[in-house]
Amino acid sequence: MSVRLTNLGGRASLAFDDRVVDVERRSGGRFSSDPMQAIEQWDAFATWAAGQTVGDDARECDRSQLQACVPRPRCVYAIGLNYRDHAEEAGLEIPRTLPSCLAGPSADVPLTSDRVDWEVELVVVIGRGGRQIAESRAFDHVAGYCVGQDISDRRLQFGDRPPQFSLGKSAQAFGPIGPALVSLDGVKDRDDLALTCDVDGERMQDSRTRQMIFSVSELVAYLSRTCELWPGDLIFTGTPSGVGSVREPRRYLAAGEVIASEIEGLGRLRNRCVAPAPPSPDV
Ligand code: ZN
């Protein structure tokens, strides 16, 4: 059985179709309610979780209560220009974005300018940390995948010199992920999954992860050559063609529009764009 770890109202929960089981209660306290704790001991957790089935303690999953399935990674890597149909030429660009941008699969996204763009991406969740990870062993270090949106404010990203790649992607709710962290045995082909993004019902992106220039195992090996990877770290693996800023004519997100992002076997995010949040009051 594949494992689908969700974060329901801040509590680690196992998803079985539309029903969820609370991890702390089901495990009698062996695993805590904090989803990060499950990820930090992923091998033990996944072994336990794979033996669980939906039972009397299962509840209906209220999707509006789902939060980021990996709520507090140490680090979020965002790979730029990683799809053949998106990049003019191969060239890795790896900004780190801030974990405070992460949000749940149904979170509202406050727009920060009139040039906010969508980017559906496969997100890799590290399960076992390390440095100098060999490409051939990379998947031993991956807990699983989830769907992500790397929402990007092109005005902030390209308006400054030098460009602010990280800040442009780090605003509140600019990194919705979910709906669950899915173990790799839950996907048909870990190197070839269909991914799509619809904005208000219009298909904007439609590709497959085999189109990536650098595969998941290459990315894990590449990053770990320089950085120490930690359990729970996220790698946003880049987006295929069809983003708004390179469409003819250009198209950006407007308040009220819904971004639907889906990856085969991993589920779907549904995020509504809203007017910018008011600034925090002065203290
Ligand atoms: Zn991106």
Asked if residue 93 and residue 60 are part of one domain, the reply reads no
Which residue range forms the structural domain that includes residue 246?
A: 76-274
**Ligand 1 center–CA 1 separation, angstroms:** 31
Q: 61 and 84, same structural domain?
A: no
Six-digit token pair at 131? Answer: 């440095």
110 within domain boundaries: yes
165 Cα to the center of ligand 1, angstroms: 10
User: Ligand 1 mean position to 38 CA, how many Å?
Assistant: 27
CATH code where residue 235 lies: 3.90.850.10
The domain tally of the chain equals 2
Same domain? For 116 and 23 the reply is: no
Q: Is 147 in the same domain as 21?
A: no
Is the pLDDT at 141 greater than 90? The verdict is yes
CA–centroid distance, 151 to ligand 1, in Å, is 7
Task: Mark whether 115 and 17 lie in a shared domain.
Answer: no
Most confident of the following: 152-156, 158-162, 212-216, 270-274: 270-274
pLDDT tens string 185-217 = 999 999 999 999 999 999 999 999 999 989 999
Q: Is 127 found in the same domain as 53?
A: no
The residues near 37 (Cβ < 8 Å, ≥ 6 apart) are 12, 31
Summarised one tens digit per residue, pLDDT across range 23-68 is: 999 999 999 999 999 999 999 999 999 999 999 999 999 999 999 9
Q: What are phi and psi of 216, to 5 degrees?
A: -55, -45
pTM score, two decimals? Answer: 0.94
Q: Do residues 133 and 215 both lie within one domain? A: yes
| 34 lies in some domain | yes
